[in-house]
Amino acid sequence: MSKGMEEQVIGGEHHSGRVARPLWTAIKRGMLGWCPHCGEGKVFGAFTKPVDKCGVCGEELHHHRADDLPAYLVIVIVGHIVVGAFMTVEAATTLSTWQHALIWVPLTIIVAIALLQPVKGAVIGLQWALYMHGFGGEKDEFEPHP
């Protein structure tokens, strides 16, 4: 019996006895701003400020460490979209430099802002699904470096 993408579970049963969480469902819920556990509560209390716990199921979400990864992913995504579109427009038209600036600078800012919250939610969903950074119930232990 094969599982669809929505039902994909990474790792199955772990040796620690933890039940595997559905990865793609958690990422999708996070992208939509919903709790990765129940899919009903909100992940964000403000634009990119996650809530400490879900208001519906009580799942603690303060463990996340979605620090810089969402911004880096947004830069990569927006860069590919804007550069591809710029090159297409540049090849098809004869716009001046200032006209390109008037088009691409605002577009880049708008697309980056529009993607930041969904990407951060997806990263929080990913961390929750993989029991990362305290989502598994234990504290993170940092290994000392020599």
Q: Is the pLDDT assigned to residue 1 strictly greater than 60?
A: no
Q: What is the pLDDT, as a whole number, of residue 18?
A: 74
CA distance 133 to 136: 8
CA distance 73 to 60: 25
Q: Is the pLDDT assigned to residue 134 strictly greater than 80?
A: no
Q: pLDDT of 64-83, one tens digit each?
A: 888 899 999 999 999 999 99
Q: Coil, strand or helix: which one is 34?
A: strand
Q: How confident is the model at residue 121 (pLDDT cuts 50, 70, 90)?
A: very high
Q: Which of 26-30, 66-70, 104-108, 136-140 has the lowest mean pLDDT?
A: 136-140
Residue 80 belongs to what H/E stretch?
Answer: helix 69-92
Kindly state the average pLDDT of the residues 127-135.
86
Contacts of residue 143, Cβ cutoff 8 Å, sequence gap at least 6: none
Structure tokens at 43: 């992940």
CA distance 112 to 76: 10
Point out which residues pair with 34 in neighbouring strands: 42
Q: How confident is the model at residue 113 (pLDDT cuts 50, 70, 90)?
A: very high
Q: pLDDT of 28-55, one tens digit each?
A: 999 999 999 999 999 999 999 999 999 9
Q: What is the pTM of this model?
A: 0.79
Q: What average pLDDT is seen over the chain? A: 86
Contacts of residue 58, Cβ cutoff 8 Å, sequence gap at least 6: none
Break the chain into its structural domains and give their ranges. Answer: 18-129
